[in-house]
Each structure stands twice: as C-alpha cells, then as structure tokens.
Structure 1
Amino acid sequence: MSSTSSEPCLALVDCNNFYVSCERVFRPDLAQVPVAVLSNNDGCVIARSEEVKQLGVMMGTPYFQCGPELRRAGAVVFSSNYPLYGDLSQRVMKTLEALCPRVERYSIDEAFVEIPGSEQAERETFSQQLQAQVLRDTGIPVSIGLATTKVLAKLANRQAKRLREAAGIWSMPEDLETRQQQLSATPLTDVWGIGRRWARRLENEGWQNAAELAAADPAMIRLVANVVLQRIALELRGDSCLSLEEISSPPRSLVRSRSFGQPLYQLTELRPALGRYLQRGWEHLRRHHLRASGIQVFLHTSRFHREIRYFGSRQAVIEPTDDLWELQRYAFALLEQAYRSGVGYTRCGVMLFGLEPDQPSWKVCKAWQQRADLQQAISGLQQRWGRDVIQLAHTLTATKGLPLQQHRSPRYTTQWSELAIVGKKIFF
C-alpha cells in the first residue's frame, strides 16, 4: 500500500564500497573476488569488498597484520588511487545533478538529493531509475535511503545496504508507530552525528536507543548535551532541521599533507615535498576564489619511533594573498624554523588558514600583474589538461617524499599514458 506525503522527500545516495567499486569498474574480472584498498604508504585497509568483510578484516587493520590472510583467500589488494576515485566521484555527482531537482555533495561517495513525487511508490520508482542510471553512466553501484530528514535518510541508507531484499533502496516508514519500532532497534552509535562518547553519555541519562532519544524532551537534550544533538533528536522525529546545502559555505582553513614512503632527513629533501603540498593547497584557493591570511608548516617523526620523537610547527599571519610564490616564500621560511637536523621525518604538511573571498589587490605594479597573469595561465592549463601538466620545477624532485604505492592501479581516466587499452586478439 503506497502512502502519500506533502513533505519533500530526501534521500542519501551512497556509493557501495566506493574505492573498491572504482577499481572494479576497469577490472570486471574482480566482481566476485575479495578486494581491499590500502591507505597512504600501503599502511592499513581503508576499503573492503563484501568478500573481505566476510573474512573478518576490519577497517583500519594494518596491512602487515591482515596481508597473509588476504593472500590465502586470493584477495587482490590495491594502493590508494585518489585521482581515479576523485574523477569517478565527479561523474557520479554530475549524473545525480542531471536527474535530481536539488543535490548536496556531502563527501566523495555520498550526496543528499531531493526525490520528486508525492507517493512512496512513485519516489521508489524514481530511485530505481536513478540507481540504474548511475550504474549505467559510471559503473558504480549505489544504495539509496529515503526519508523526510537527513538523519532518517542516513538510517534508511544503512537499511538499504543491510537488507538483501531491499535491492539497495529502502524508505523510512512514514507511519509514526512503525518508524518508532524501527528506531527502537537502532543503537545510538548508528545515528548520524552521535559518536561513542556522546552515546555513552546519553545512555547514562536514560536514552538507550534512537526511539528513546526521538521521544525525549528537546529542551532536556539541549540542557544535557548541546544544540547539535537537540537537532538530531528532532530529525529522528521527522522534523527537518538540516536543510539541503546546494552551495557549500567556503572553508575557513585547509590542510595538505602526506606521509613519506621513507624518512627524510635533509631540508633539501623536505622542501620539494612541502612545495608539492603547498601547490595543491594553492590550487584549492584558485579554484574557489579564496586567499589566505595565515600559513602553518608542520613536520614530525614516526609516532612508532621509540627513541626519537619530534613534532615541529611554525605559523605566521600574513597579508591576505593567493600568490603561489609569496606563499612558498613564507612556507620555506617556516620550514627552516621548524626543522631540526639529524631527525628522520615521516610526514610534513601545510595549513592555510584565515581564508576569505579573493579581492582585487592594491598591488597593481607591472611585476605583480605579470605574476597574476602567469597564475591565471597555470590555472587554465591545469583545468584543461590536469593538475600535473605544469608544476613548479623544484616539486618534481620530490621523489623521496612520494608515498609508497606498490599496488596502485593505473589512473585510467586522468592520465593519457595510463588509459585502458581495448583490443581484440586475431588468430591465424
């Protein structure tokens, strides 16, 4: 029996085992094979196929611990291939934006969307068409959870993945009694926005599951916890407090950092690596028309090193700028201040903070205008041909600072030299 609702229907569209699904797009032979994806430097497991989950391998398990078991099971292991994942994510989002009235990109593999239709059957039919179109356009399978609020849509998506009979699409019951029965079987840790610490605190106050939290007095929740949890409780009731954000607010800061494939000891080795991360941050500034009024550089040793542990950090407040060479000058000066000789560093990074919308600079002399034109040309080339088409020369020497990627698949969609080759064998 279909139900009718005048309230707008939201849905969370979530790509299934996203990194694994990206690898399988170009390797259909791995459809039923256990597949795992590793973090930077091939450190730990960050994505698992259903077959790997059935082996009992948990998220975050160090590869040196689970590697033997994965090999015995015939699993295929991949290093992180973020260019591929980012490009396929863009393709998924563009398909959603072409079909849905409103879309909020929530993460690399999730989006909240508005689903048209006044009846549940109509909305589920649209969801099936949406699911099929994403798979047809990108090769990525998705699960869709439908509800009247974001928090309920998150829970509905969890059910869409858990229940085999749901076929990847599940609607939160609109009937209050039926929904309360569903929420009574939902632990607080399964609710979006509630972590273990807050779950323990809420349980100590007498709220043991999502249904009890939804039935609680909102004023009491705010008194015991905060306004965020109060809104979560209201969303569990079906009262929308978190609207779709089609245009995300600009960030106040950004961080670009990576672990090294091997310890680095010399400033001459650290500068190219830091320069690479800074250029990535600068690309973000240019893409979103922002400038930074502060910069921080940090570097540290391995936290597993028993004898030498060091964390160095320096920061500076600067005149707001998006000039790459100006930012580089500050970054290298801060690096020299934070650096300590004789130490093997395993990670460094840069944070740009105090971000604000770009404004025309008062520096209108010929040299500054030439530099601005050069940066505009660089941004244009990168936008058309990819971020690696042009880089500062010293960043190309950062080979020692590159992360370890012994199992990386080709960058099929972003690198001309790694395009998939489709051919046909001819036998005579």
Structure 2
Amino acid sequence: MYAHVDINNCYVSCERLFNPELEGKVVVVLSNNDGCVIARSNEAKAVGIKMADAEFMVRKLLQENKARIFSSNYALYADMSARLMNNLARYTYTLMVYSIDEAFLALSEIHSLDPDQHARTISENVMKHTGLPITVGIGPTMALAKLANKAAKKQKLAYFVLDTESKIENTIRNFPIEDVWGIGHAYYDKLKAYGIKTAHDFRELKADFVRQEMTVQGWRLHQELWGKPCNVIKDVADRSKGIESSQSFNSYQTELAPIEEAIAMHAATVALKLRQQKSMSMQLTIYLRTNKHNVKHDQHYPSLTVKVSFAANSTHQLTLVAVQAARAIFQPGYHYLKAGVRATGIIPEGEVQFNLFNTYEHSREQKLSELMDGLNSRYGRGTLRLAADSFERKWAMKQEFLSKQYTTDWKHIVTTS
C-alpha cells in the first residue's frame, strides 16, 4: 500500500496558521511580482476566482469580496513544508517528497497495517504538530493513492482508502480522466478523441493499445489503475532532474551589475540546496530572459552551460563560475526580466574525482560553506553572504503584500501580550 499526502490550499493554509483571523475569509496568494493568483482559499474559489487569474483582471472582484491578498512568502512555505515532511517521516520507512506540499509514503513494510487507522493517525497528528490541514489518500499503487486523495477532497474527507477492488471500481467509475495523475493536456486531448471520459474508460482500454498511443509512461499509469505497481518510491533525491533557482525582476534590467547580483544570489541558493541533499554539481547553466509578451522590446534568451572544474557545492566556487558566465552572455541594449541558475550533472557528495594536478582547496571550501550555513541557520537566512550578492537587491521582485517571516526571522516570531 502507498499513501499520498498533501496540504489543503498550501500557501493559504500557511498564512492562516499564523493569522487565524483569515479563517472563513476570501484569501489569495499571488505569484512572483504579484502577477497571478497561485493559491486560493475555498471562499475565494466560491466567488469565482480561478487559478492563474491575473491580479489586475480580478482586482475588482477581490475588492468587492474584501479579499485578503498576500505575496508569495517562499521562506515561510518552505519551512512549513520541511516541518510537514519531518512529521510524515514518522509514519513510513520510505518517504518521497514530491513537491513543496505533497509526498508519497510506502506502507508495505509496516506490520499489521490498518490503512484507515493509519490514515486517521497521520491526519490528526500532522494537524496537532504542525497546524496544517492535510488530505491523505491510500491505495495499492501510487496512482491510486493520488486518485484516493483527490476523491477525498471531492467528498470533503480528511482521508480516503482504496483497499478493495469494489472501492476502486466505484471510485474510478465516474472519476474524470483529466483529474488522473499523469494525464496532461496532450494525453487528455488524445483520449478525448477516443471518447475516454473517465478513469474507468481508460482502464478498460487494452494495455497494448495504451502503450502504442501513450508510450511506456501511459502504460504504467494504466497498469497502476489496475492495482499493479509500476512506479517506485525513492527515499533519496532524484539527481537526474537538477536543481534550479530563478526569479523575475521587479522591473526591466539593462545594466550588468544588478544581473550579476541576481545570478550570485541564485548560485548561492543552488549551492545551499546541493549541500542540504549532500550532493555536488559538475556543471551550471546560467540564463537570462527578456519579456516575450512585450513586443516593444527586442527579445534575447541567452544561456550558457559551464563545466565546473571539480564537482562542487561551495557557495564561493559556484558563484564564481555563475557570475563569469553571466558576464559572457549579457548583452547591452536588451531589457532583461528574469535570470536563473540551474545545476546539473549532480553526484553524491562523497564521489568527487580529483587528480594529481588539482589546485582546488576542497576542504577549505567545505569549511567555509559549513561556517556560512551555521551562522545563517542561527541568525537567519542571508545573514552572511558573499559580497557579490548585494544586501540592497533593488532588482528584487515586487512583493507589496508580503507577510512576516514568522519562522525564519527573530523579529517576526509570534508573541503573546
């Protein structure tokens, strides 16, 4: 058996956790630069606010409903996500973090498991220990666990278990195919053309036909809906995907200096993530983007992939490489709106290959990184940073409705009067 757990209206729930007066009110969280709606309370959904609605297009609707608006507070959301995952790890031998607000748990190794009781325990204890409302779905495959989670939400249940064939059959019979995990727009359009409307319709297709029309990924999903596990939960980071940090600017940038600062910040973020998962990167991709929607400006999307001399996760080493690459791809005359750094070629920390002619001071870089991490952990993220990463950050994204850093800044810790 597998369990799928996610936070209900994640970003909104995080905001409400430290501001209880938001309960029962229309609440929305906006994307980078306060552009689009990326999280909504149930009350916001009820008044017609849709996911990805541009803020300026629904501004009147928000005002009419006295909505509370928040900018994305990623530091808060990431910290609450970490608390959730640490709690979930108590209920499984193998946990796979799937995104910031959801995870899969392998349950097969738990002796004498009662799925209903286990789901209830997870739901109640996570709420007790973190304050976050979650939904738990349990099924014999990862796809069915995910489907059980969505079914629970539709029935407004805290948890739902698919542990018998009759339960599975009754649930998938009218379950929309577009809501099935792994069915994207391309697959949906193809299945719609064949008259497939529900998960039951899809399951009734012949396996060979599915494999031919939807490749091996679609075939795996088809098998999982029949209760045959094809996906595997991994308790280590998937190093094949890489690690990325990027952000839009609050205004167009035409000078190199602020772009260098942004690239330095992203390189430091990538380096920290690498150290947290005890990995190192062998190459970095640095890229810049103009605004493709602004036809008044010439477009430019430069990128450069640079091989790191020796696999590294040092903030100093990766920042040096990234800033040099940014200088190489920057061209004056363009209005840049976004910058990012992506680390690939990721290997475990203990598998770095050196040579006799190496001049890279690996142990020194590691000690410096450990010192930075220790100070930033104690006094707040960003307390100690490289000079290339400016403290002013005039180019930082627009966040007019940003809430406090309740869990990561001593000045914002909630106190009682």
Q: How high is the TM-score relative to the length of structure 1?
A: 0.89
Task: Please give the per-residue CA displacement for 1:163-208, whole angstroms capped at 9, x wherever unaligned.
Answer: 13xx3222226134x5334322122211100112112213334544
CA distance in 2, matches of 1:98, 1:384: 26
Write out aligned runs for 1:108-147 (5 A). 108-115=100-107, 122-147=114-139
Which residue pairs with 2:68 in the alignment? 76
Counterpart amino acid of 2:414? A
Give 3-state SS (helix, strand or coil) of 1:230's partner. helix
C-alpha displacement of 1:240: 1.5
Which residue pairs with 1:203 in the alignment? 192
The structure-2 alpha-carbon separation of the partners of 1:338 and 1:398, relative to structure 1 and needing over 3 Å to count, comes to: farther
Q: Is 2:59 aligned against 1:61?
A: no
Task: Select the residue among 35, 60, 70 that pairs with 1:43.
Answer: 35
Task: Select the residue among 273, 281, 290 that pairs with 1:292.
Answer: 281
The structure-2 alpha-carbon separation of the partners of 1:45 and 1:288, relative to structure 1 and needing over 3 Å to count, comes to: same
Write out aligned runs for 1:210-225 (5 A). 210-225=199-214
Task: Please give the per-residue CA displacement for 1:362-414, whole angstroms capped at 9, x wherever unaligned.
Answer: 46669664344323322333345443231012312452221111111101011
Count, aligned residues: 410
Task: Select the residue among 8, 13, 18 that pairs with 2:10.
Answer: 18
CA distance in 1, matches of 2:89, 2:239: 20
Q: Is 2:282 aligned against 1:282?
A: no
Which residue pairs with 1:170 in the alignment? 160
Give 3-state SS (helix, strand or coil) of 1:316's partner. strand
Which residue pairs with 1:260 in the alignment? 249
Q: Do the aligned residues in 2 keep the contact of 1:117 with 1:123 (CA within 8 Å)? A: no
In structure 2, list runs of 5 or more residues that go unmatched: none
Moved more, 330-339 or 264-273: 330-339
Which residue pairs with 2:412 in the alignment? 418
Which residue pairs with 2:387 in the alignment? 393
Which residue pairs with 2:376 in the alignment? 382
The structure-2 alpha-carbon separation of the partners of 1:310 and 1:330, relative to structure 1 and needing over 3 Å to count, comes to: same
The structure-2 alpha-carbon separation of the partners of 1:175 and 1:287, relative to structure 1 and needing over 3 Å to count, comes to: closer
Task: Select the residue among 323, 326, 338 that pairs with 1:335.
Answer: 326
Counterpart amino acid of 2:409? Q
CA distance in 1, matches of 2:392, 2:342: 19
CA distance in 1, matches of 2:400, 2:284: 33
Moved more, 414-423 or 282-291: 282-291
Which residue pairs with 2:400 in the alignment? 406
Counterpart amino acid of 1:172? L
Q: Do the aligned residues in 2 keep the contact of 1:252 with 1:356 (CA within 8 Å)? A: no
Task: Please give the per-residue CA displacement for 1:1-31, whole angstroms capped at 9, x wherever unaligned.
Answer: xxxxxxxx32211110011000000111111
Q: Do the aligned residues in 2 keep the contact of 1:260 with 1:400 (CA within 8 Å)? A: no
The structure-2 alpha-carbon separation of the partners of 1:315 and 1:123, relative to structure 1 and needing over 3 Å to count, comes to: closer
The structure-2 alpha-carbon separation of the partners of 1:175 and 1:10, relative to structure 1 and needing over 3 Å to count, comes to: same
CA distance in 2, matches of 1:13, 1:372: 36
Cα-Cα RMSD? 2.2
CA distance in 2, matches of 1:158, 1:367: 51
Give 3-state SS (helix, strand or coil) of 1:192's partner. coil
Task: Please give the per-residue CA displacement for 1:61-91, whole angstroms capped at 9, x wherever unaligned.
Answer: 1111112211110110111111111111111
Give 3-state SS (helix, strand or coil) of 2:328's partner. helix
Which residue pairs with 2:305 in the alignment? 315
Q: Do the aligned residues in 1 keep the contact of 2:251 with 2:395 (CA within 8 Å)? A: yes
CA distance in 2, matches of 1:215, 1:129: 35
C-alpha displacement of 1:136: 0.9
CA distance in 2, matches of 1:52, 1:117: 43
The structure with the largest alpha-carbon Rg is 1
Q: Is 2:217 aligned against 1:228?
A: yes
C-alpha displacement of 1:344: 2.2
Give 3-state SS (helix, strand or coil) of 2:56's partner. helix
Task: Select the residue among 155, 169, 176 that pairs with 1:180.
Answer: 169
Counterpart amino acid of 2:20? P
Q: Do the aligned residues in 2 keep the contact of 1:290 with 1:357 (CA within 8 Å)? A: yes
Q: Percent identity?
A: 29
Q: Do the aligned residues in 2 keep the contact of 1:257 with 1:350 (CA within 8 Å)? A: yes
Q: Do the aligned residues in 2 keep the contact of 1:12 with 1:153 (CA within 8 Å)? A: yes
Q: Is 2:336 aligned against 1:345?
A: yes
Counterpart amino acid of 1:52? A
The structure-2 alpha-carbon separation of the partners of 1:366 and 1:32, relative to structure 1 and needing over 3 Å to count, comes to: closer
Write out aligned runs for 1:231-250 (5 A). 231-250=220-239
C-alpha displacement of 1:258: 0.2
C-alpha displacement of 1:118: 5.7
Counterpart amino acid of 2:302? G
Counterpart amino acid of 1:55? V
CA distance in 2, matches of 1:314, 1:250: 20
In structure 1, list runs of 5 or more residues that go unmatched: 1-8, 424-428
Give 3-state SS (helix, strand or coil) of 1:354's partner. strand
Give 3-state SS (helix, strand or coil) of 2:401's partner. coil
